[in-house]
Amino acid sequence: MSDHPDARHAPATARNRDPILTVLREILPARGTALEIASGTGEHAVYFAAALPHLTWQPSDPNPDARRSIAARAASAKLPNLRPPLELDSSQAGWPVAHADAIISINMIHIAPWAATEGLLAGGKRILPPGAPLYLYGPFRERSREIARSNAAFDASLRAQDAAWGLRDLDEVTFLARRHGMALERRVEMPANNLSIIFRRNP
């Protein structure tokens, strides 16, 4: 853990990074650039870049405090495959990156307006090659399954903070993904009532 004053800490990272990494090892390409959307503290970026040295890890975040935290952690880690963070708001069409071989977004779409999910999937269509993965992690609503009590409480707290936030319906996300040339490949149950959702860019 970096002791730089700009380095922020998210307690959930230490709990979820290994289960996420297990899935990422199965789906990410053998080489290329992995673009992380909404990298937050940068803890995931450092951990995954260290664990996956064959990939170039490109963190990003629209929040300047988050980018400072990412930069501080990257400076401390000194990993050759970890790039400086980009200013990137997924809801905006003008992304500062023209190509990636994978997109990863962890715990983002439920704490952002729906436009961020729309922009994320549209961006995947623009910059991913055919067959490339777009990976989402977090809690979702599923019409075929009763929502866990903890997720229902979390959803209510998010909506109380911002009416535009909240757990997303997986069917709605999947439908939107199809509109943007993405096919649902896998749904993986994760600890603490979270899911890993893997889409692939259609040929």
Which tens digit of pLDDT belongs to each residue from 138-173?
A: 999 999 899 999 999 998 999 999 999 999 999 999
pLDDT at residue 13 is higher than 90? no
Contact between 43 and 9 under an 8 Å Cβ cutoff? The reply is: yes
- Class of domain 11-201 as given by CATH: alpha beta
Q: Which of 139, 103, 101 is nearest to 121 (CA)?
A: 103
| pLDDT given at position 8 | 64
Cβ neighbours of residue 30 closer than 8 Å, sequence gap 6 or more: 54
Give pLDDT tens digits for 68-127: 999 999 999 999 999 999 999 999 989 999 999 999 999 999 999 999 999 999 999 999
For the chain, what percent of residues have pLDDT higher than 90? 90
| pLDDT given at position 15 | 83
d(CA 126, CA 132): 12
Domain ranges of the chain: 11-201
d(CA 60, CA 137): 16
Q: SS3 of 191, please?
A: helix
Per-residue DSSP letter, 98: S
pTM comes to 0.94
pLDDT at residue 11 is higher than 60? yes
